[in-house]
């Protein structure tokens, strides 16, 4: 029905989450009628994203440099470490413009049914950070509180419980976002006021 290059684009677009075959066809027609220079911007943006974006060597946040903007910022509060599942959760919390500590991104959550286990998450790096912090020379360089900000759903809760157990001997206070975010949802999808509340009323585990 379609010329081969058109078909290829439709098939690639249809792989995106939330994009069905119909929408992929519509997008492909849009690209077809867009001037070449304009359409190539999309191709270059994808190429640059894959080439230039990586995970921060300390916290796994997205970055173009070795360290992300937050890890490189000496004004951030070293005593607070917020653990999230994905970089997009970190972005949702940053948008609140309230939290001034640092982060650790797990790059996933425990999902035993899907075969995702603790070893698949960036937990070793988290424990290493806590150990380094515990032996920091200056008191102000030490992490005092780890905030578990996993998503408010079954897998997120399982991940938080696992981490609370793993980290209990690291000599830091462990807290969890307060209940109140819509259950089964995500930090990313939570509204600003709810997320703000969950942060402000976080509880010790």
Q: Kindly state whether residue 61 participates in binding Zn ion, applying the rule CB under 5 A.
A: yes
Helix 87-95 with 192-200: angle, nearest 10 deg: 90
| Position 59 contacts Zn ion (CB under 5 A) | yes
Residues in contact with Zn ion, counted by CB under 5 A, come to a total of 6
Kindly tell me which of 28 and 105 has the beta carbon lying closer to Zn ion.
105
Tokens representing 122 are 């960036």
Name the segment binding Zn ion (CB under 5 A); options: 7-15, 68-76, 133-141, 166-174. 68-76
Cβ closest to Zn ion, residue 9 vs residue 59: 59
* Geometric angle at alpha carbon 104, from 100 and 105, rounded to 5°: 120
- Please identify, among the stretches 5-13, 55-63, 85-93, 167-175, the one whose residues bind Zn ion according to the rule CB under 5 A: 55-63
- Under the binding rule (CB under 5 A), the answer on residue 71 touching Zn ion is yes
Is the distance from CB of 104 to CB of 60 less than 8 angstroms? yes
68 contacts 56 by C-beta, under 8 angstroms: yes
Cβ neighbours around 71 below 10 Å, total: 20
Question: What's the min distance (Å) between Cβ of 105 and Zn ion?
Answer: 8
Distances (CA, A) of 61 to 56, 100, 170: 5, 15, 23
Closest CA to 156 of 104, 83, 91: 83
What minimum distance in Å lies between the beta carbon of 108 and Zn ion? Answer: 17
Angle subtended at Cα 186 by Cα 121 and Cα 180, rounded to the nearest 5 degrees: 120
Q: Does 81 bind Zn ion (CB under 5 A)?
A: no
Q: State in angstroms the smallest separation of the CB of 59 from Zn ion.
A: 3
Q: Which is nearer to Zn ion, 72 or 193 (CB)?
A: 72
Cβ contact 122:57 at 8 Å: no
Min CB(33)–Zn ion separation in Å: 41
**87 or 156, CB closer to Zn ion?**
87
Task: Name the residues that contact Zn ion, by CB under 5 A.
Answer: 56, 58-59, 61, 68, 71
């Amino acid at each position: 029905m379609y010329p081969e290059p058109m078909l290829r684009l439709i098939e690639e677009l249809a792989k995106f989450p939330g994009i069905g075959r119909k929408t992929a066809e519509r997008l492909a027609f849009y690209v077809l009628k867009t001037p070449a220079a304009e359409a190539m911007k999309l191709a270059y943006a994808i190429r640059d994203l894959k080439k230039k974006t990586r995970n921060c060597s300390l916290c796994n946040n997205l970055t173009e440099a070795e360290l992300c903007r937050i890890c490189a910022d000496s004004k951030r509060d070293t005593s607070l470490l917020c653990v999230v599942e994905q970089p997009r959760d970190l972005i949702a919390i940053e948008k609140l413009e309230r939290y001034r500590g640092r982060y650790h991104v797990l790059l996933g959550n425990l999902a035993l049914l899907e075969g995702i286990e603790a070893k698949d998450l960036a937990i070793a790096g988290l424990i290493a950070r806590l150990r380094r912090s515990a032996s920091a020379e200056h008191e102000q360089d030490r992490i005092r509180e780890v905030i578990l900000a996993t998503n408010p759903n079954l897998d997120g809760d399982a991940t938080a419980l696992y981490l609370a157990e793993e980290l209990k001997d690291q000599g830091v206070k462990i807290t969890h976002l307060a209940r109140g975010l819509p259950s089964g949802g995500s930090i990313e999808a939570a509204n600003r006021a709810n997320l703000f509340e969950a942060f402000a009323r976080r509880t010790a585990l």
